[in-house]
Amino acid sequence: MAGRVIDFRWIKRYRVFFIAGGFILVLQVFLAYVFIIISDANDRTTYEYLSGRGNLNFDGVDEKHRLQNLSVRRFNKEPYLQVEYEESSLNILSVSNKNKLPPDKVSLRLEDLDFVPPCDIRVKEAISSIHRAKTQQCKQIIANVTCLIVKNQLYPKSLPHLCPTDFIVGKSLGCYEDDVTTRLLSGYSVVLKNINSPQNCISICLQNGYLYAGVQFGSECFCGNDQPSSTARKPDSSCNMKCSGDPKEACGGYYKMNVYQTGLSSKC
């Protein structure tokens, strides 16, 4: 009995807190219920709009935006797409016309020149440069250089060797027998499957600073600085294999080598 009285007094002492807690709990349950109802109503309305069964209300929408939205709905898709296509076509035409060069930029005005170009100039950059040049002399120089470029003649294929020497570029020393263990020319070698010739091999050896060049087995090129021994000399008829780059020329044979001077000497 005493325990019950103590419990009753304890509850009576904190009854304000119990009442406040109960009120808060009831309020939360009520708010949750209202939120669920509102959310369900919104979902239902949205579903009706998406499915087409609902009606949009434009009363609260700005008049300007309402008219724009209605006009978009009333447009037929085909005319609208046609307008877009026509506008894009006009844009493409305007870009192409913008990038298209004027007629005077693509053809050379010969009537403005007091000379005849050495070739038919069709390079638009060269034509533009000639038209922009102020004097006839400048125009002619540009035309001459352009024609040399077109004919691949602007630069020489090889530079002359001006070092004083008794060696002669391309001088043939004859046909020699080679050996796989002790090569006649052991400085450098390369296989030129389709372009081997005495001239090409001499050019390669000259550029690499060698005194002698030799062609062998039709497609092989050898370079070296030691002159072949006279004991290895063979008749020229022994070097009878056609060159891979020039069938009219002989490029050695089977362990037979045509040897040439490159024009360099050990004194240079």
Residue 240 domain-assigned (yes or no): yes
Q: pTM of the entire structure?
A: 0.47
Residue 26 domain-assigned (yes or no): yes
Do 11 and 37 belong to one domain?
A: yes
pLDDT 10s digits, 84-129: 444 444 454 444 444 554 555 568 898 989 999 999 999 899 999 9
Residue 141 domain-assigned (yes or no): yes
Residue 67 pairs with which residues in a beta bridge? Answer: none
What single string gives the DSSP state of each residue in the chain? -HHHHHHHHHHHHTHHHHHHHHHHHHHHHHHHHHHHHHHHHHHHHHHHHHHT-S----TTS-HHHHHHHHHHHHS-HHHHHHHHHHHHHHHHHHHHHHHSPPHHHHS--GGG-SS--SS----HHHHHHHHH-SSHHHHHHHHHHHHHHHTT-SS-SS----S--S--TT-EEEEEE--SSS-SS-SEEEE-TTT--HHHHHHHHHHTT-SEEEEETTTEEEEESSPPPGGGEE-GGG--PBPSS-TTSB--BTTEEEEEE-S--TT-
Residue 187 domain-assigned (yes or no): yes
The dihedrals phi and psi of 258, each to the nearest 5 degrees, come to -85, 125
> How many structural domains comprise the chain?
4
Share of the chain above pLDDT 70, in %: 67
Range of the domain at 41: 2-48
Residue 137 domain-assigned (yes or no): yes
Residue 229 domain-assigned (yes or no): yes
Describe the crossing of helices 124-132 and 136-150 by its angle, rounded to 10 degrees: 170
Do 84 and 111 belong to one domain?
A: no
pLDDT 10s digits, 174-222: 999 999 999 999 999 999 999 999 999 999 999 999 999 999 999 999 9
Q: What pLDDT sits at residue 86?
A: 44
Mean pLDDT rounded to a whole number for the chain: 78
Residue 209 domain-assigned (yes or no): yes
- C-beta atoms surrounding 145 within 10 Å: 13
Cα distance between the two ends of the chain? 132
pLDDT 10s digits, 126-166: 999 999 999 999 999 999 999 999 998 998 877 666 776 77
Choice between 4 and 245, residue whose per-residue pLDDT is larger: 245
pLDDT at 81 over 90: no
Do 218 and 238 belong to one domain?
A: yes
